[in-house]
Structure 1
C-alpha cells in the first residue's frame, strides 16, 4: 500500500511537470481543432460564387471541351476532375495534392473559368497549419508531435492519479464539489472532465499521429514491411494492357458516362491517364469507407483493367484512414458533434488546470509535488516507459534528456528524485 502511495506521488509529479510544459500548446491545439471543424461550412459560403453556376437552357458543353478550357488556363495541367453532382455545379479540375492542390472551376454552359481555389491560400489551410505545425514548418510539426506524445502520458498518469483509492464517491469523482472553494472546484472540473473524455482523447490523438513526421514515417514503414497499406496497383503502377495500332483515347465524356453508370457513393473523381499506357481511374470519397473503390480503365476501350475495393486495402491503412477521418469529424453529424464537444471540453479542462495551479502555487517556487526519497521505480514502470519511448520516439528522446539532466544534478545535489 505504501508503495502505491509513493507511486501515485511520483506519477502526480510527472503529470504536473508535463502538464505545465504542454498546457499552452494544448489550449492552442484545442482552439484550432474546433475552428477547423467548421471548414466545410465556412468554405461553402466563401466559395459558392466559384462553385455554383446558373443553369441555362442551352446545350451543356462536353467535358472534353471543359477539360481543354481548364488546360489552357492552368499553370500545372489538371490530373483529375470531380464529376458534377447536379446541373448547377461548375466542373472542378484538380492539379497537385495536399497543400499544393489547385482547383479550377469551369462553367459547363459558357465554357469559361468561374475561378480557381488554391489550397495553400485559404484561411482554413492556415488554421490547419497552425494546428499541425504551429506555422513553423517541419520543426513545428515535431513540436506538435512531442506535445501529442506527452498528452498520452498525461492521460495515463492523470487516470492513475484520479482513480479513487479509498472507495468511490459521487462528489469529487463524477460531480465537481462546488462548496469546497475555487481551487477544489477547478481541480474537480479538470480531473472529472479529463476522466470522461480520456478514451475520446486517445482516439483523437491516434487519428492525429499519422500526420506527424517521426511516428508517421515509422508507421508507413511498418505498413510497407507488413504489406498492410494500399495495394501496389492502387495508383495504377504496374498495370498494363494491349494497345492496338493507331488506337485513339476515349473522350472524357465517355469515361464520365461510365463513372455515372457505376453509381458510386459520395463524391466521384476521374483521374487522368499518365502517358499513352496509363489508365483512367474512377474513385469515390465517401463517409462510408467500406463503399470506397478505385477502378482503373483502359483509356482506349473503357474496359476495366483493375478494380480495387476497400476490403483489398491493408488493415493498418484502413485503421489509419478511419482514425484520420474520425479525427476530422467526417462520419456525419454525430462524429462532428463528438469532436466539437471533445475540443471544447479539452479547452475547459486545460483552462481549469491552470486556474487550479494558480490558486495553489506557492509564491517562491513552482510547487512541484514532492516524492519520498525512498521511492524506487518498478521494472514494470520502466518497461512501460521504454515501450512508450519506442512507439513515440520524440517522447523517448525527451524522457532520456530529462532523466539525464536529473542525474547530472546529482553531481552537485543529493539524490535526485525522478
Structure 2
C-alpha cells in the first residue's frame, strides 16, 4: 500500500514537472516572433480591416440584389411559353454581344437567362418566355456588389492591387503562426486569459486578450479562408496553376470541349434546336443551376453543365454532337484532379456557399477578424510611448535557429511575394544596424 502511494506521488510529480517544462517557452524566440508579429501587423492591419469588412458586406450579395433584380428575373405566367429556339433568336437580336449559353429555368415564373461573355465581362439578358419581350439585362460589373468584390480582391487598383492583397494574405499566414506561439500559455492553462479576456487588470490587457484569444480560436478558419483565396491570386495562383498542369491535377482536357468536334461528314444543314437540347439536358437530372453552352463554330458541340457549390460532387459536364444530339463525352467530378477539387472546395467555403451553416460561420469569422484587428490597434495605442514606434525589442544574444530559417525559406518559395518582401525587410534591418554601429 505504501509502495502504491509512493508510485502515485512519483507519477504525479513527474507529470507535473514535465508539464511545466513543456509549457515553458524560449523567451528569446518568443520576443523575436513577437517583433515579427508586430511588424507584420503594422503593415497588414489596415488592409485586413478592408478585407474583413468588404467580406462581410459581400456575404449579403444575394439578399441585396434579389429585390433589385426581381422585376427582371421574374415574369407573370400567362398561357403557353414560346419555344426556347425562338427565345434565343430574340435574345440574339437584342443582346449587345452574342449569347454563348442559356440557363435552364427551374420555375414557370422565371425569365429565360441568356449569358454573354465570361468572368468580369459577363452579362445576362432575360427573355419573358410567354410574351417574347426582353425583361431586362443584368451586367454584374455595373453593380455595387461587383465594386465591393473588386475592393475585396484588388483594392480597386487592378493587377497592382491584386498583388497587394496577395502579399497581405501571405503575411496573414505569418501573423497566424507567430501569433499562436506568442499567445501560447507559458505558465499553464487558465480560464481567464485563455478562454475569455481578463477584465480585472487594465484596458490594455483586456484588448490584448481580446485580440489574441479571438485570433487563436479562429486561426484554423482563417487558414481555410486564405486557402480559398490564394489560388486565385496572380503570383501564387499562377504557380498553383502550373503545378496543376504539371501534375495533371486540374480539370481534364475535355472539360471545356475545345478538343471535341461535332461530326459534320453526314450532318444535316443546321444544329438541333435548343428545345431538343433542353430535353436532353433535363433528362440528365442535374442539380443546381444547369446551363447549355452553345457550339463555337460549325464544328463545335453543345455542352451541358451544372453549378452546385453545396454539392460539388454532383457537378458534371456532358458534351453532345450539335447536329445529331448524340452524347459524345460525360465528365464527372471524379474526373477532376485533386488540386482543382481542393481549390474549388475552399473557394466555395470561402464564399459561404455550402449552406446556412457555412454562411453564418464565414460571417462570424469575418466579424471576429474585424474585432481582433481593432482590438490590436487599441492595445497598441495604449501600450505605445510618445515619440516611439513601440517595436518589441529582441536580446542581442538571440540567434535564429535552423528550424526557423528552413521554415522561412519554405514560405518564401511557396509564396514568392512574401519572400521578396522578407528580403527587403531584412535588408533594411541590416542597413539600420550598420548605420547604428557606424554612428557609435
TM-score between both structures, scaled by the size of structure 1: 0.97
Query: Is the Cα–Cα contact under 8 Å of residues 167 and 417 in structure 2 kept in the other structure?
Result: yes
Q: Tell me how far apart the structure 1 counterparts of residues 433 and 313 of structure 2 sit (CA, whole Å).
A: 57
The answer to whether the Cα contact below 8 Å between 2:34 and 2:178 also exists between their aligned partners in 1 is yes
Give 3-state SS (helix, strand or coil) of 2:437's partner.
coil
Aligned with 1:288: secondary structure? helix
Unaligned runs of 5+ in 1: none
1:138 aligns to 2:159 (yes or no): yes
Task: Tell me the equivalent position of 1:164.
Answer: 185
Q: Does residue 181 of structure 1 match 2:202?
A: yes
RMSD over aligned Cα atoms? 1.3
Q: Residue 305 of structure 2 corresponds to which residue in structure 1?
A: 283
Cα deviation per residue 1:63-100 (whole Å; 9 max; x = unaligned)?
Answer: 00000001001111000010000010000000111110
Instruction: Please point out which of 228, 234, 257 is paired with 1:207.
Output: 228
Write the distance in 2 (CA, Å) between the matches of 1:406 and 1:96: 49
In 1: Cα distance, 2:64 partner to 2:318 partner: 32
1:345 is aligned to 2:361: no
The Cα offsets for residues 220-249 of structure 1, whole Å up to 9 and x where unpaired, read as: 010011111000111102113433154431
Match in the other structure for 2:422: 399
Match of 1:328 among 327, 331, 351: 351
Q: Deviations over 1:173-220 (max 9, x none)?
A: 111111111111001100100010000000001101122111111100
Matched, 1:370 2:397: no
Task: Give the conservation status (yes or no) of the 8 Å contact 2:262–2:322.
Answer: no
The structure 2 residue matched to 1:56, chosen from 71, 78, 84, is 78
- Which residue number in structure 2 is paired with residue 66 of structure 1? 87
**Contact 1:241 1:298 survives alignment (8 Å):** yes
Contact 1:210 1:219 in 2 (8 A): yes
In structure 1, the residue corresponding to 2:328 is in which secondary structure?
strand
In the TM superposition, residue 355 of structure 1 has moved relative to its aligned partner by: 0.6
Q: What is the CA deviation profile of residues 94-129 of structure 1, one whole-angstrom value per residue up to 9, with x for unaligned ones?
A: 011111001000000110111101111011000000
When structure 1 is superposed on structure 2, of 18-27 and 152-161 the one drifting more is 18-27
1:282-334, CA deviations, whole angstroms, 9 ceiling, x for partnerless residues?
A: 00011200000000001111111010000000100000000011100000001
Q: Is the 8 A contact 2:262 2:300 kept in 1?
A: no
Structure showing greater Rg: 2
* Cα drift, residue 405 of structure 1: 1.1
Q: Deviations over 1:378-415 (max 9, x none)?
A: 11101100100111111100000000111122332139
Give, in angstroms, the shift of residue 357 of structure 1: 0.6
CA distance in 2, matches of 1:3, 1:232: 51
Partner of 1:105, secondary structure, is: strand
Give me the whole-angstrom Cα distance separating, in 1, the residues matched to 2:198 and 2:270.
76
2:14: which partner in 1? none
Secondary structure of 1:173's aligned partner: coil
- 1:178 and 1:38 map into 2 onto residues whose CA distance is 34
Between 315-324 and 257-266, the greater mean CA deviation after superposition: 257-266
SS of 1:93's equivalent in the other structure is strand
* SS of residue in 2 equivalent to 1:412: helix
Q: Distance in 2 between matches of 1:351 and 1:307?
A: 50
Matching residue of 2:59: 37
Among 4, 10, 17, the alignment partner of 2:39 is: 17
Map 1:254-273 to 2 at 5 A.
Answer: 254-273=276-295
